[in-house]
Amino acid sequence: MEQVRIDKWLWAARFFKTRSLSKKQVEQGKIKVDGQKCKPSRTVQAGDVINIKKGDVTWEVVVDDVAEKRGSATVAQTLYHETEESIEAREAKTLLKKMEYHSTPKPDKRPTKKQRRDIKSLKYSD
């Protein structure tokens, strides 16, 4: 069975743009393999479950194949599959963010100079 370092695999699967970024995320504890924090040198193999937290998005993927070299996006998609729960949670979070964005009031136009001064005086008044 083939094994690859977790930082290399994350980079090859195109979760991160550079290998150093993937290494940094692993060191910060944003990546968990089988529910446990790991080091960048941790090896992954087919069947491992990886939790990836990137910003406010979280993926739970199962490793299908390993690769040391970064290939095209279509090749990268064959390296893993996302669990159903993860897909549902991600879509729900995206929908919630869209609803929050559309529900916040937005001004029709930019404030005038006087309105900006009034806003500034309200914000920074002691």
pLDDT digits 0-9 by tens, 46-98: 999 999 999 889 999 999 999 989 999 999 999 999 999 999 999 999 999 99
Integer Cα distance of 104 and 99 in angstroms? 9
Give the model confidence (pLDDT) of 6-40 as tens digits: 999 999 999 999 999 999 999 999 999 999 999 99
- Give φ, ψ of 16 to 5 degrees: -135, 150
Q: What domains are there in the chain, each with its CATH number?
A: 4-123 (3.10.290.10)
Residue 117 CB neighbours (<10 A)? 11
Q: Which residues pair with 36 in a beta bridge?
A: 33
Look at residue 126 in the predicted model and tell me its pLDDT: 64
What three-state secondary structure class fits 40? coil
**Total residues found in the chain within this entry:** 126
pTM reported for the whole predicted model: 0.79
The CA-to-CA distance between both ends of the chain, in Å, stands at 66
Tell me what the pLDDT averaged over the chain comes to: 93
C-alpha span between 47 and 65 (Å, rounded): 8
